[in-house]
Amino acid sequence: MSELEMNNDAESLVVNLIYQVNGALPKDIRQQDSLIKDLAMDSVEIIDFLMRLEEIGVTISESDISSNLTVGDVILYVNDKINNKD
């Protein structure tokens, strides 16, 4: 699988999870969007989103969770998980 395919898979996964949790339309979600500032995810939605990520083996440390966390950042976490899959 090429790097581009992995990135597209990760992006699709993250965007779909955001849609399921927050209701933001996938076509309106951009990589530079902040989960909190731009997508207006509240604390319950953030927790739900993080739990769904953990179900697929992606963990984001508490210190990295802030209002500056972007969709692109989460995609990088998912790509890292894909790349380190053994």
Q: What is the pLDDT along the chain (86 residues), one digit of tens a residue?
A: 555 455 688 999 999 999 999 999 999 999 999 999 999 999 999 999 999 999 999 999 989 999 999 999 999 999 998 888 65
Write down the pLDDT at residue 84. Answer: 81
Predicted local distance difference test score (pLDDT) of residue 36: 96
Predicted local confidence at residue 86, as pLDDT: 52
Please report, for residues 2, 5, 50, 55, 74, the alpha-carbon distance to residue 61 in angstroms, rounded to integers and kept in the order given. Answer: 27, 26, 10, 15, 11
* pTM score of the predicted model: 0.88
| Domain residue ranges of the chain, discontinuous segments joined by + | 3-83
Architecture of domain 3-83: Orthogonal Bundle (1.10)
